[in-house]
Amino acid sequence: MKEKEIQFAICLDNEGYKASLDIGKLYRVIPDDEASAHGYIRVIDESGEDYAFTSDRFHVVHVPVFVEKILSSALQIKDFS
């Protein structure tokens, strides 16, 4: 079975969410088809919880598997799959 790809996104806009998001920071994306269908992206924000924000606030980045592992470890990511 193929491992689920972990996605990350860079915050481009934190207007109205300055305590929750930092511009230029990399955030873990949590898969959420319903949020995506409505133009939202779910990320783990500065509170450590996952929340949905409008997709235009972020740029999703795809990284090689070895980079995913390093980032996941560095960000102490929980498995949400």
Determine contact, residues 32/52, Cβ cutoff 8 Å: yes
Residue holding tokens 């996104």? Answer: 9
User: What percent of the chain is helix, strand and coil (3-state, nearest 5)?
Assistant: 20, 30, 50
Helices (H), 1-81: 33-37, 65-74
Is pLDDT at 17 greater than 60 in this prediction? Answer: yes
pLDDT at 76: 65
CATH 2.30.30 at 7-63, yes or no: yes
Tens-digit pLDDT profile for residues 32-72: 999 999 999 999 999 999 999 999 999 999 888 888 888 87
pTM, to two decimals: 0.80
